[in-house]
Amino acid sequence: MNQSELYVSLDIGSSCIKVLIGEMNDNSLHVIGVGNVKSSGIRKGAIVDIEATVQSIKKAVSEAERMIGMSIHEIVLGIPANLANVQHVKGVVAVNREDREITDGDLERVIESAEVMSIPPERELINIVPKQFIVDHLEEIKDPRGMIGTRLEMDGTMMTTSKTILHNVLRCVERAGLQIREIYLQPLAGGYFALTEDEKNHGTAYVDIGGGSTTIAIFHEGHLINTSVIPVGGDHITKDLSIVLKTPTEQAEMIKIKYGHAFYDDASDDELFEVPVIGADMKEQYSQRYIAEIIGVRLEELFELVLEEFYRMGLQDLPGGVVLTGGVSKLEGIGQLARHILQTRVRLYTPDYIGVREPQYTTAVGLIRYAYKEDVFYGKIGDSHALTQMVPSDIVTSTKKQKQAGHDTTTDNKESAMTKAKKFFDKFFE
Encode pLDDT of 350-396 as tens digits: 999 999 999 999 999 999 999 999 999 998 887 767 887 765 434 33
Number of domains in the chain: 3
8 and 107 inside one domain: no
Q: Is residue 397 included in any domain, yes or no?
A: no
| pLDDT at residue 397, rounded to an integer | 36
User: How would you classify residue 317: left for phi > 0, otherwise alpha for psi between -120 and 50, otherwise beta?
Assistant: beta
CA–CA dist 283, 247 (Å, integer): 9
12 and 105 inside one domain: no
Asked if the model's pLDDT at residue 322 lies above 70, the reply is yes
153 and 249 inside one domain: no
Give the list of residues 6+ apart from residue 244 with CB closer than 8 angstroms, or none: 294
Of 88-97, 206-215, 261-270, 405-414, least confident by mean pLDDT is 405-414
Q: Is residue 242 included in any domain, yes or no?
A: yes
| pLDDT at residue 420, rounded to an integer | 42
DSSP string, 45-89: TEES-HHHHHHHHHHHHHHHHHHHTEEE-EEEEEEP-TT-EEEEE
Quickly list H helices, 246-312. 249-259, 288-312
- For the chain, give the number of residues: 430
Q: Where does a domain end: 162, 186, 216?
A: 162
Give the mean pLDDT of 309-319: 93
CA–CA dist 133, 127 (Å, integer): 17
CA–CA dist 353, 29 (Å, integer): 8
| pLDDT at residue 418, rounded to an integer | 38
Asked if the model's pLDDT at residue 16 lies above 70, the reply is yes
Q: Where does a domain end: 162, 185, 210?
A: 162
CA–CA dist 19, 58 (Å, integer): 10
What confidence tens digit (pLDDT) does each residue in 401-430 have? 344 444 443 444 334 333 444 344 444 444
Range of the domain at 4: 1-72+352-389
User: CA dihedral in degrees (353, 356, 359, 365; nearest 10)?
Assistant: -70
Distance of CA 77 to the CA centre of its chain: 8
DSSP string, 97-164: STT-B--HHHHHHHHHHHTTS---TTEEEEEEEEEEEEETTEEEES--TT-B-SEEEEEEEEEEEEHH
Cβ-count burial 237-263 (b if 16+ within 10 Å, e if not): bbebbbeebebeeebbbbbbeebbbbb
Q: Is residue 317 included in any domain, yes or no?
A: yes
**CATH (domain of 116):** 3.30.1490.110
